[in-house]
Amino acid sequence: MERADVAIIGGGLVGCAAAWQLARKGASVVLIEAGDINAGASGQNAGSLHFQIERRFLENGDDLAEQGAQIVALSRHAVTDWATIEGDLAADLHVAMDGGLMVAETAEQVALLERKAARESHEGLAVRTLDGEQARTIAPYLSPGILAANFSADEGHADPRAVTPALADAARREGASVRTATRVRTIERDAGRFRVEGEGLALSADQLLVAAGAWSTEICALVNIHMPLYPVALLMNATERTAPMVPHLVQHVGRRLSLKQTHAGNLLIGGGWPSRLAQTPNGGFDLSARAQMIPESLTGNLLAARDVVPGVTQLNLIRSWTGVTAISSDQLPIVGPVPRVPGLWVAAGGSAFTLGLTFARMLADAMTGGDADELALLSPARFEHLNGFMG
């Protein structure tokens, strides 16, 4: 049987970044991917590097907003990780960090922006609040209907099609073995090690990292552990290419919208509009089938884009697609060691395009003898009560 220090399940951004970081620290690593590298959410997403508190944390009351604010400490690390990744990998990932605006169209939303900025400055993230005129001075493409915006100088975007393949290449260069088209079917505990098996794979590893995105719950079930992550399907849209128009990441504090212009000139429009997950005949969600677009989501998303950046109405929509990611029961990602199973680690959920490089770097430190203190907020230990009856 093949042996490794670490087995990683999932060839998305998180798994590939962790494989690279662990291999460069000298660990022997086998990364196992059911399909192809970047086949999951990491290749389907909007590519936003958003460091301001996300709208989804702001719309459900102060407690959740407070929790969302705590993740800002990790976002500050993510700023540095993204600013250095192209140099570290010697690859062009189309990273653009020219600033991000979170806009408001109503007085209520302006008040929300102000409360958000106060929380962010308390957590050490520099965000400026601009009135509508000031916002249009730096972003003339914004509608006259924008009353205010929070501006974060570090926000931006990167190319989801480039990042994860480049990380996988870097992991290979550092000696990691990357197995695609290899679905993990069983995991057994064997004398303190993990015996991981799938098509053409029989591997014994000291440590196991589950980085399987929306599939992480079913992988954890193979080790008899509950991991409260839920799949969600989201909509994305792309317009035809146009001349440089939107140099920033644009988000909305009160409506579902993210908008940016890619290096190639297309506008990418998303922001968390739902799609419908496919179902299995016995009532569960079928993650192997494509999620279905919901027409109202498409209309809602495009109307929000039009209201914020009226110039989009001059562009043809050339592509819409759905992608599946995972959200945990408290909305925070789940990252760190699983207390009940020594050697088992998980990293899944949340906005792991923005934060995935940081999770991977911190996990690699912790898995090679460092501590996981900076990830404490995200620890799987907060759900340990769910596993009290699991053997």
Ligand X SMILES: Cc1cc2nc3c(=O)[nH]c(=O)nc-3n(C[C@H](O)[C@H](O)[C@H](O)COP(=O)(O)OP(=O)(O)OC[C@H]3O[C@@H](n4cnc5c(N)ncnc54)[C@H](O)[C@@H]3O)c2cc1C
Q: Is residue 307 within 8 Å of 143, Cβ to Cβ? A: yes
Question: What stretches of the chain adopt beta strand conformation (E)?
Answer: 2-9, 29-32, 48-49, 100-104, 128-131, 148-152, 156-157, 177-179, 184-190, 193-198, 201-210, 229-241, 249-252, 258-261, 266-270, 317-328, 334-337, 344-348
Q: Which span sits near ligand X by CB under 6 A: 8-16, 63-71, 202-210, 363-371?
A: 8-16
Measured CA to CA, the distance from residue 90 to residue 76 in angstroms comes to: 23
Is 15 a binding residue for ligand X by CB under 6 A? The answer is: yes
Q: Which span sits near ligand X by CB under 6 A: 63-71, 92-100, 209-217, 383-391?
A: 209-217
Measured CA to CA, the distance from residue 265 to residue 255 in angstroms comes to: 24
DSSP, collapsed to helix, strand or coil, labels residue 190 as strand
Measured CA to CA, the distance from residue 158 to residue 46 in angstroms comes to: 9
Pick 165 or 213: Cβ nearer ligand X: 213
What is the length of the chain? Answer: 391
Alpha carbon separation from 295 to 34, 46, 301, 367 (Å, rounded): 31, 19, 10, 44
Sign of CA dihedral 287, 238, 309, 95: positive
Is 156 a binding residue for ligand X by CB under 6 A? The answer is: no
- DSSP per-residue codes, 7-43: EEE--SHHHHHHHHHHHHTT--EEEE-SS-TT-SHHH
Pick 98 or 134: Cβ nearer ligand X: 98
* Token pair in block for residue 148: 């205010």
Is 11 a binding residue for ligand X by CB under 6 A? The answer is: yes
Is 42 a binding residue for ligand X by CB under 6 A? The answer is: yes
Least Å distance between CB 228 and ligand X?
16
Q: Which span sits near ligand X by CB under 6 A: 86-94, 205-213, 292-300, 368-376?
A: 205-213
Which runs of consecutive H residues, i.e. helices, occur in 123-180? 132-138, 160-173
Least Å distance between CB 137 and ligand X?
26
Pick 110 or 166: Cβ nearer ligand X: 166
Q: Which span sits near ligand X by CB under 6 A: 38-46, 99-107, 126-134, 296-304?
A: 38-46
* Token pair in block for residue 105: 């169209």
Least Å distance between CB 297 and ligand X?
11
Q: Which of 129, 262, 325, 387 binds ligand X (CB under 6 A)?
A: 325
Residue 197 one-letter amino acid: E
Size of the site for ligand X (CB under 6 A): 40
Measured CA to CA, the distance from residue 230 to residue 207 in angstroms comes to: 24
Q: Which of 21, 52, 328, 351 binds ligand X (CB under 6 A)?
A: 351
How many CA atoms are closer than 13 Å to the CA of 318, on its beta-carbon side? Answer: 11
Angle ∠(67,163,151) on CA atoms, nearest 5? 45
Q: Which of 10, 231, 254, 337 binds ligand X (CB under 6 A)?
A: 10
Least Å distance between CB 25 and ligand X?
19
CA 334 to chain centroid? 12
Is 353 a binding residue for ligand X by CB under 6 A? The answer is: yes
Q: Which span sits near ligand X by CB under 6 A: 104-112, 138-146, 214-222, 302-310?
A: 214-222
Q: Which of 4, 21, 33, 187 binds ligand X (CB under 6 A)?
A: 33
Is 152 a binding residue for ligand X by CB under 6 A? The answer is: no
Contact pattern from residue 242 through residue 281 relative to ligand X, giving x for each residue in contact according to CB under 6 A and a dash for the rest: ----------------------------x-----------
| Residue of closest CB approach to ligand X | 12
Contact pattern from residue 165 through residue 204 relative to ligand X, giving x for each residue in contact according to CB under 6 A and a dash for the rest: ------------------xx--------------------
Least Å distance between CB 369 and ligand X?
24
Least Å distance between CB 3 and ligand X?
19
Alpha carbon separation from 11 to 82, 189, 211 (Å, rounded): 19, 23, 8
Binding interface with ligand X (CB under 6 A): 9-15, 32-35, 39-42, 44-48, 183-184, 211-215, 219, 234, 236, 270, 323-325, 348, 351-354, 356
